[in-house]
């Protein structure tokens, strides 16, 4: 039933297969996982007119997880998927005719927190044993990282911890505050929000350098389209990438402009917390927080991680998953 409702929403946002007439902007349907700061360049591109300057009107739909959005792309209910690279790599390994056309978020900002009131002495991953931890949808990037990290720390996932799927990071924080959860893996700004407000304690932080280096060697997210879309609408794909690149650069060139967009999309996050989180991402030292480039080394790292995690069985070739011709736009 959830999928039916989701597809109905996508259909309501639809563009025709012929797109728009020459004197009208071309509407492009873009879907995302739950709202988080790693999607900021795409929101900036809409809010600051970069898509409009390319003759595009991009609609944004936020789903409960990357799996749902990926299903919508394969089913033709959306045009562009913004996703952690985990999804397209997995789908391509299964034979899906899709390509990544650009990066969006360069480095991952996942972190794991626990309820500070009930676990004031929690300092590291060992503190999670016996706890109920919120994870995004099974198979999503955050879920895979959580399981990878716990496995590497020697956890038996069937006995040492209870992983509970929760859609939406804010929902996980609410459930923790009510005592229904003990901890969660979160993306920004939700990871930093609870910490700075004194309600959660961090026990793992990728941006801080926690965990194996492979977690920072991968590109976080990118834009994905079907091979058919590229064949029929390469010009539109190039416009999307060009506008996204301009937006990503604006975040660094004019922090106030990027922060203003972030505040619009995260109205419940304290402005001071949001700015501190924004600054933390913009100052990432191992890779850029926002970057449209997709180097082959990042796909090599993604393959290594996904094979070690048991998500795919053999490497996906760089040329098979990345539209390398788009590098002239990156």
Residues 101 and 116 in one domain: no
- Going by pLDDT thresholds of 50, 70 and 90, the confidence category of residue 22 is low
**35 and 129 assigned to the same domain:** no
Co-location of 73 and 151 in the same domain: no
Judge if 183 and 249 occupy the same domain: no
Among the candidates 176, 205, 234, a domain finishes at 205
The reply to whether 160 and 294 lie within a common domain is no
CATH code, 125: 3.40.190.10
Percentage of the residues of the chain whose pLDDT score is greater than 90: 69
Average pLDDT over residues 51-57: 98
Do residues 246 and 316 both lie within one domain?
yes
Out of 180, 205, 230, pick the residue that ends a domain. Answer: 205
**What pLDDT is recorded for position 309?**
87
Task: Give the contacts of 107 (CB within 8 A, at least 6 positions apart).
Answer: 206, 207, 216, 220, 284, 286, 287, 288, 289
pLDDT in tens, 237-292: 999 999 999 999 999 999 999 999 999 999 988 899 899 888 888 877 677 889 99
Neighbours of 41 (CB within 10 A): 30
213 falls within a domain: no
Q: Cα dist. 179→14, 157, 174, 225, 231 in Å?
A: 40, 21, 9, 41, 51
Residue 211 forms part of a structural domain = no
Among 281, 60, 63, smallest CA distance to 191 is for 281
Taking the alpha carbons of 166, 170, 172, 175 in that order, is the dihedral positive or negative?
Answer: negative
Question: 195 and 139 in one domain?
Answer: yes
Co-location of 68 and 95 in the same domain: yes
- When pLDDT is cut at 50, 70 and 90, the band that residue 95 belongs to is very high
Mean pLDDT of 309-319: 94
210 domain residue, yes or no: no
Both 193 and 259 in one domain: the answer is: no
Q: Is the pLDDT of residue 10 over 80?
A: no
My answer on whether 62 and 199 are in the same domain is no
In a domain, 314, yes or no: yes
The number of folded domains in the chain is 2
Residue 13 lies in a domain: yes
The predicted structure's pLDDT at residue 290: 93
Instruction: For residue 189, give its domain range.
Output: 111-205
Domain end residue (candidates: 205, 239, 265): 205
Model confidence at 312: pLDDT above 50: yes
Q: Are residues 140 and 270 in the same domain?
A: no
Query: Are residues 239 and 283 both part of a single domain?
Result: yes
Q: Are 274 and 266 in contact (CB under 8 A)?
A: yes
């Amino acid at each position: 039933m959830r999928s039916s409702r989701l597809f109905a929403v996508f259909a309501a946002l639809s563009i025709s297969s012929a797109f728009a007439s020459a004197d009208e902007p071309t509407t492009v349907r873009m879907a995302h996982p739950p709202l988080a700061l790693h999607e900021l360049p795409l929101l900036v591109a809409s809010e600051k007119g970069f898509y409009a300057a390319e003759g595009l009107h991009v609609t944004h739909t936020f789903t409960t997880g990357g799996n749902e959005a990926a299903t919508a792309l394969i089913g033709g209910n959306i045009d562009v998927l913004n996703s952690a690279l985990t999804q397209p790599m997995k789908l391509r390994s299964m034979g899906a005719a899709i390509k990544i056309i650009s990066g969006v978020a360069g480095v991952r900002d996942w972190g794991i927190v626990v309820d500070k009131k009930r676990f004031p002495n929690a300092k590291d991953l060992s503190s999670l044993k016996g706890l109920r931890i919120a994870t995004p949808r099974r198979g999503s990037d955050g879920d895979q990282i959580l399981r990878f990290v716990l496995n590497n720390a020697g956890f038996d996932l069937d006995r040492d911890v209870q992983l509970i799927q929760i859609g939406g990071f804010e929902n996980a924080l609410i459930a923790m505050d009510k005592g229904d959860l003990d901890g969660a893996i979160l993306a920004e700004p939700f990871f930093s929000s609870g910490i700075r407000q004194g309600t959660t304690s961090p026990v793992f932080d990728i941006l801080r350098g926690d965990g194996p280096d492979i977690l920072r060697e991968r590109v976080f997210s990118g834009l994905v389209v079907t091979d058919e879309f590229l064949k029929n609408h390469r010009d539109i794909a190039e416009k999307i990438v060009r506008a996204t690149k301009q937006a990503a650069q604006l975040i660094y060139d004019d922090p106030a402009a990027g922060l203003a967009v972030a505040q619009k999309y995260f109205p419940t996050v304290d402005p001071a917390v949001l700015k501190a989180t924004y600054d933390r991402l913009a100052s990432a030292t191992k890779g850029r927080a926002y970057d449209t480039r997709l180097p082959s080394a990042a796909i090599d790292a993604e393959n290594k991680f996904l094979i070690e995690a048991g998500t795919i069985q053999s490497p996906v070739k760089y040329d098979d998953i990345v539209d390398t011709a788009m590098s002239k736009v990156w």
